[in-house]
């Protein structure tokens, strides 16, 4: 099987674009990714398009109506917050399988403002606030408090994740927000669901990101190897049975399962990774994933954030893009946006926030329901 | 319109004569319990091994959060709690009759399941509902 390489990748600066359509937002990053490698839509043999909000709306085809209707196969993908990573993985798999030599993956989302999750009841009465909360900040607060129950992790330690990621965002011109938030500011912000304050929740934004994936022979033929990044591992998992998962969506076991498979596929371990973009949809979630991805032992995540090991300049920088907390979280785009971030570092093109000497990076997303996508990328 | 309040979820049973109770489905092959009717076990895959069990009305607090912002019309703050019932079944609901303050709430604290009106909520036909809640165990 041929190795697969990212030869072109980009994302738009995330924001709010109510005047645009979903295909228009997706088309922007698709063209940017093509420009990044100097290819055209005529060079693409297939399109894998991730979007959640219009999952039945043929977004990929409508996007090609904006940028070139070449008649290629289009696969529209929906997999909660792992949608973008799933589209990327399908694209990668088609190249690995030898079906195509050059394909395009796009993730795009247009979001409303406000709380996600726990919608009204179709029959009977609404259950929100009656049988607990189904809002996303609450669900992830409960996941964080499970860690508190087991290991004594504090509100302050969770809040430090936001301090770190918001600091990183000040070096990322593509982040929705680029604002320093001292610890007191984070902890004293409006409480949404304890222990997640407003500054510990990711931002609902519109956005898109895209990647061009080539086989090794095609990348060489096109003279694109100098900036190419090799996909060392691509893994997707669903949630294995857990005793509480009917009432507590489990983001841990599907991540652990995906991490183990990804490290095995790459023949690497956590110590080999130079930077990580992980799914910090809420500050509480990031803490869990330090352990889930094997960056430290169980129960040590609080110490990791206290000691600055996961900050830029630390042992294993996490979310130097600013993460979902500051960059924003356009659900279907997020999984490719974090691939853009890691690729940019491996190319040595990340500017002020560059992780020095980065050779290998890992991306992680979680879609509740649940799906986990992990990719390990390597500089060539 | 129903004379009796309706159960808020299918796994809450309201007998004509007798006390309301929570019902689980238990896999006779592996022992896993589930809220809600099913015929195949998602833990071990066994088919047609499910039997109904009455769930205990006591358990321990496993995790929680304090909800300060919810959807319009939902009273806040309230405690959204994950409780492990005494037989190991996990269930989610509101923890009541305790201050919504992390200083007051202890992991592992004993809680009772209590049944009461669903906070005055009615459906389009005007039916009342019976719900379940958790509260700190007495003594
Ligand atoms: Zn079973």
**Percent of chain B at pLDDT exceeding 70:** 99
pLDDT > 60? residue A93 = yes
The reported pLDDT for the residue numbered A112 is 72
| CA of B34 relative to ligand 1 center, distance in Å | 10
pLDDT in tens, A279-334: 999 999 999 999 999 999 999 999 999 999 999 999 999 999 999 999 999 999 99
Quick one: closest CA in B to A130, which residue? B94
CATH numbers and ranges of domains, chain A: 4-113+203-378 (3.40.47.10)
Q: Output the pLDDT for position A145.
A: 98
Among A175, A180, A176, A204, CA closest to A192: A204
Q: How near does any CA of chain A get to the CA of B63, in Å?
A: 5
Contact check, Cβ <8 Å, A130/B94: yes
What local confidence, expressed as pLDDT, does residue B1 receive? 66
Chain A residue numbers touching B131 (CB-CB < 8 A): 130-131
Residue A130, pLDDT above cutoff 60: yes
ipTM of the complex: 0.95
Of all residues in chain A, the one with the smallest CA distance to B67 is A193
Q: How far is B17 from chain A (nearest CA, A)?
A: 23
**Nearest CA of chain B to the CA of A375: how many Å?**
28
pLDDT at B4: 86
Q: Which residue of A has its CA nearest to B119?
A: A130
**Is pLDDT of A245 > 70?**
yes
Examine the pLDDT at A1 and tell me if it is beyond 90: no
Annotated catalytic residues of A are 81, 329
Of the candidates A208, A168, A185, A193, which has an alpha carbon nearest to the alpha carbon of residue A326? Answer: A168
Contacts B35 to A, Cβ<8 Å: 246-247
Q: What is the pLDDT of residues A183-210, one digit of tens each?
A: 999 999 999 999 999 999 998 999 999 9
Tell how far the Cα of B10 is from the centroid of ligand 1, in angstroms: 21
- C-alpha B54 to ligand 1 mean position (Å): 18
Q: Kindly tell me the burial class for residue A259, based on how many C-beta atoms sit within 10 Å of its own C-beta (0-12, 13-18, 19 or more).
A: buried
Region A246-264 average pLDDT: 95
Q: Is A122 on the interface with B (CB under 8 A)?
A: no
Is the pLDDT at A124 greater than 90, yes or no? no
pLDDT at residue A215 greater than cutoff 80:
yes
Shortest Cα distance, chain A CAs vs residue B123, angstroms: 5
* Per-residue model confidence (pLDDT) at position B116: 97
* pLDDT tier for residue A120 given thresholds of 50, 70 and 90: low
Listed as own residue / partner, the contacts of A94-98 with beta carbons closer than 8 Å and 24 or more positions apart are A94/A46, A94/A48, A95/A2, A95/A4, A95/A213, A95/A214, A95/A215, A96/A1, A96/A2, A96/A3, A96/A4, A97/A1, A98/A1, A98/A2, A98/A215
Using CB atoms, pick whichever of A120, A128, A194 lies closest to residue B102: A194
Nearest to B64 among A145, A243, A244 (CB): A145
Q: What residues sit around ligand 1, an ion, with C-beta below 5 angstroms?
A: B 27, 29-30, 32, 41, 43-44, 46
B84, B94, B129 member nearest A124 (Cβ): B129
Cβ contact, residue pair A129, B36, below 8 Å: no
Whether A118 has a pLDDT exceeding 70, the answer reads: no
What average pLDDT does this structure show over A144-163?
A: 98
| A106's tokens | 């796009």
With a cut of 80, say whether residue A255 has pLDDT above it: yes
pLDDT above 80: residue A122: no
- Measured CA to CA, the distance from residue A124 to residue A129 in angstroms comes to 15
Residue B77 to residue B57: CA distance in whole angstroms: 25
pTM passes above 0.90: yes
Q: Which residues of chain B have pLDDT under 50?
A: none
Task: Copy the structure tokens of residue A222.
Answer: 């096109």
Range A242-269 average pLDDT: 95
């Amino acid at each position: 099987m041929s190795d697969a390489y990212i030869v072109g990748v980009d994302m738009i600066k995330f924001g709010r674009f109510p005047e645009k359509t979903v295909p228009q937002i997706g088309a922007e990053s698709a063209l940017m990714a093509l420009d990044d490698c100097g290819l055209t839509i005529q060079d693409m043999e297939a399109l894998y398009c991730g979007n959640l909000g219009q999952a039945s709306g043929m977004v990929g085809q409508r996007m090609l109506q904006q940028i070139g209707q070449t008649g290629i196969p289009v696969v529209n993908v929906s997999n909660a917050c792992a949608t973008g990573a799933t589209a990327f993985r399908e694209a990668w798999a088609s190249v690995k399988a030898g079906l195509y030599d050059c394909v395009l993956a796009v993730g795009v989302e247009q979001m409303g403002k406000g709380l996600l999750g726990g919608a009204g009841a179709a029959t009977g009465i609404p259950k929100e606030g009656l049988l607990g909360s189904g809002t996303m900040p609450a669900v992830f607060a409960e996941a964080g408090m499970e860690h508190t129950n087991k290991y004594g992790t504090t509100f302050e330690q969770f809040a430090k994740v936001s301090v770190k990621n918001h600091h990183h965002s000040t070096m990322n011109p593509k982040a929705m927000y680029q604002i320093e938030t001292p610890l007191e500011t984070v902890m004293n912000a409006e409480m949404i669901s304890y222990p997640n304050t407003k500054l510990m929740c990711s931002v609902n934004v519109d956005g898109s990101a895209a990647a061009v994936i080539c086989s090794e022979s095609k990348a060489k033929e096109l003279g694109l190897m100098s900036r190419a990044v090799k996909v060392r591992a691509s893994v997707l998992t669903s949630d294995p049975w857990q005793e509480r998962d009917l009432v507590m969506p489990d983001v841990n076991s599907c991540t652990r399962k995906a991490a183990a498979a990804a490290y095995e596929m790459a023949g690497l371990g956590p110590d080999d990774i130079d930077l990580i973009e992980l799914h910090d949809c809420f500050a509480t979630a990031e803490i869990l994933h330090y352990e889930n991805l094997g960056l430290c032992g169980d129960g040590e995540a609080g110490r990791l954030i206290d000691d600055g090991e996961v900050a830029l300049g630390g042992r294993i920088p996490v979310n130097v893009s600013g993460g979902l907390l500051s960059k924003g979280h356009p659900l279907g785009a997020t999984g490719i946006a974090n691939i853009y971030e890691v690729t940019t570092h491996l190319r040595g093109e990340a500017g002020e926030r560059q992780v020095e000497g980065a050779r290998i990076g890992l991306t992680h997303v979680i879609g509740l329901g649940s799906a986990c996508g992990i990719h390990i990328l390597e500089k060539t | 319109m129903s004379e009796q309040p309706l159960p808020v979820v299918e796994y809450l049973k309201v007998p004509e004569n007798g006390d309301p109770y929570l019902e689980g489905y238990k896999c006779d092959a592996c022992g896993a319990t589930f809220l809600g009717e099913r015929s195949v076990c998602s833990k071990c895959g066994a088919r047609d091994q499910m039997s109904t069990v009455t769930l205990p009305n006591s358990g321990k607090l496993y995790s929680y959060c304090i909800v300060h912002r919810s959807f319009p019309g939902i009273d806040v703050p309230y405690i959204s709690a994950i409780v492990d019932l005494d037989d190991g079944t996990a269930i989610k609901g509101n923890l009541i009759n305790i201050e919504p303050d992390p200083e007051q709430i202890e992991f592992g604290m004993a809680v009772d399941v209590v049944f009461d009106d669903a906070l005055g909520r009615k459906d389009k036909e005007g039916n009342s509902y019976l719900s379940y809640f958790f509260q700190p165990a007495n003594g």
